[in-house]
Each structure stands twice: as structure tokens, then as C-alpha cells.
């Protein structure tokens, strides 16, 4: 699969995720895909389990914004923010593709924090 095709599959995946279309959202995954959540120590085995887990999430996302998608070949990274119950989570998704489908995804989630004043002279605030 060419990079342009993978990028379009990713765009369709994130659009579906943002609107809560769990069927279209999971089209990108291989049946035997693995998804890791390192911060909680969880591994989800298989597209069906991943879709079921996300379908039963008690705090459905209320906002979703892609910052950027980078990648080529079999490795793609998406940076985005997702809002759960009024709280933004900065998220990184690392996806590995084989034969046009995601075979492994690792997702990292981080809450926002206030920038410390001591470093203000060296930084620029961005949104």
C-alpha cells in the first residue's frame, strides 16, 4: 500500500473516531491487531475486542483534534487531543501497518499541566 493510501485510511479512521462511528473507525485494523496502552499496562488483542472496548467507554469523547500525522511505509504517528468529560488528553498513536491494515498500535495519553513560571524567559506559549 502506498503512503498516500495509508494517509487517507488514517484520515478516514480519525474522522470516524471523532464522530463516534465505531464501525468505520475500526476498518483500519487487521483482525489480529494488537493495541497497547503502556500507561495502564493493558494490551487489547484483536480488532473485535478493541472495537468492543471503545464502544463501551463510559465517557464518550466530546472533542477531537488532529495536530499532525507523520509517517511512511509501515510506521505512522498521529498526535492529537481528545476531550473526555471536559478534560483534554494529549495523545500519541503509533501505528504499524502490514498489507494495508494496522497490526500494532501503541497509544500514550497525557493530561495538560500549567507551565512553570521559572522557565518563561526561554519559552513561547502555544496552543
CATH number at residue 101: 3.10.450.50
Percent with pLDDT over 70 in the chain:
99
Residue 18 lies in a domain: yes
pTM of the full structure? 0.90
Range of the domain at 71: 3-114
Are the CB atoms for 102 and 112 separated by under 8 Å?
no
Taking all residues of the chain, what is their mean pLDDT, rounded to a whole number?
93
- Averaged pLDDT for residues 90-110: 97
What is the structure's pLDDT at 62? 76
Are the CB atoms for 27 and 102 separated by under 8 Å?
no
Q: How far apart are CA 45 and CA 75, in angstroms?
A: 19
Q: How far apart are CA 84 and CA 121, in angstroms?
A: 33
Residue 127 lies in a domain: no
Q: How far apart are CA 12 and CA 123, in angstroms?
A: 35
Q: Is 84 helix (H, G, I), strand (E, B) or coil?
A: strand
What is the structure's pLDDT at 52? 96
Q: How many domains does the chain have?
A: 1
- Residue 127, pLDDT > 70, answer no
- Report the length, in residues, of the chain: 127
How many C-beta neighbours within 10 Å does residue 65 have? Answer: 12
- Structure-block grid coordinates of residue 118: 521559572
Residue 33 lies in a domain: yes
pLDDT tens digits, residue range 38-79? 999 999 999 999 999 998 887 777 778 999 999 999 999 999
Amino acid at each position: 500500500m502506498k503512503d498516500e493510501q495509508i494517509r487517507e485510511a488514517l484520515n478516514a479512521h480519525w474522522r470516524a473516531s471523532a464522530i463516534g462511528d465505531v464501525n468505520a473507525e475500526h476498518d483500519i485494523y487487521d483482525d489480529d491487531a494488537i493495541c497497547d496502552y503502556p500507561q495502564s499496562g493493558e494490551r487489547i488483542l484483536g480488532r473485535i475486542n478493541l472495537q468492543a472496548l471503545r464502544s463501551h467507554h463510559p465517557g464518550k469523547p466530546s472533542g477531537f483534534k488532529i495536530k499532525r500525522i507523520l509517517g511512511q511505509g509501515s510506521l505512522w504517528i498521529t498526535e492529537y487531543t481528545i476531550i473526555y468529560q471536559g478534560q483534554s488528553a494529549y495523545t500519541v498513536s503509533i501505528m504499524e501497518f502490514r498489507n494495508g491494515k494496522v497490526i500494532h498500535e501503541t497509544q500514550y495519553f497525557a493530561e495538560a499541566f500549567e507551565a512553570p513560571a521559572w522557565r518563561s524567559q526561554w519559552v513561547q506559549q502555544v496552543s
